[in-house]
Every structure is written in structure tokens, then in C-alpha cells.
Amino acid sequence: MKEEKAICPKCLHLVEEEKELDYPYYCPTCDKNLYGFEVKSVKELCSLDKYVEIDLELLRAKRKHPKFPEDMFHQLAIMQEEAGEVTKAVLQYKYEGGSFEDIKSELIQTAAMCMRMLENLK
């Protein structure tokens, strides 16, 4: 896959590298092959909308960890672990020269886990 992650302009989901046809990208959600000029980079889209960043992080997390606990206490523990990472990033920013970008990244990951917990509440 290309170094820069690419997004389908129609559905805003991550595209994959096309392996069979003469296209660089394939969107499994739309079932469509795409050329490089048709897709958007994650950075392009993320700079436009924070909700897109959260949605992309949620999709990434679902791909990396397809099984999510059914028990809401385990779900809460996952979400709280991410919130703890926000606290750590803020403290590092304030006292140790940490980066503002780390705070933003941890906030996005926490928001994604909040959304995943919401999706899985029964």
C-alpha cells in the first residue's frame, strides 16, 4: 500500500491497494476502482473536519481489533485507558516539552473509543 493513506471521495472510507486491475486503489465499501487523482489523502480530509478524523480512527481501530468486548465494563476500561493517554499527553506538553499534536491524537483516539462503546451498548 502507498505510504500516505488514501480516502474514497464518495464514502470517505479508507481505500486499499488494487492488486488485480490496472488501478492504484480500490474502495471495498463502494466496490469501485480509483485512480490516484480521484482519492483524497487522510491529511487533506482531516484538516477539514475533526469528525472525519474520529471516524477514520474508529475504522482503523475496528480493523486492528475487530473483536470488541460485549461487557460494558471492559468497553469502559478501553475508553478510560485512552482518556488516560490524553492526561499523559497534556502533562507531557505542560511539563516535559511534549507536542500539541500528541494531545490531539490522543483526543481523537479517545473519541473513537467513545463512539465504539456507544455503537456496542446493548
The model's pLDDT over 36-75, given as tens digits with 9 standing for 90+, comes to 889 988 777 666 578 888 998 999 999 999 999 999 999 9
pLDDT in tens, 25-47: 999 998 999 998 899 887 776 66
What was the pLDDT predicted at 1?
A: 36
- For 78-101, what is each residue's pLDDT tens digit? 999 999 999 999 999 999 999 999
- Residue 55 sits in the same domain as residue 39: no
Is the domain of 106 the same as that of 59?
yes
**Residues 58 and 111 grouped into a single domain:** yes
Number of domains the chain contains: 2
Residue 56: is it exposed, middle or buried by C-beta count within 10 angstroms (0-12/13-18/19+)? buried
- The domain in which residue 70 lies consists of 50-120
CA distance 22 to 49: 32
pTM of the predicted structure, to 2 decimals: 0.63
84 found inside a domain: yes
At 45 the pLDDT is: 65
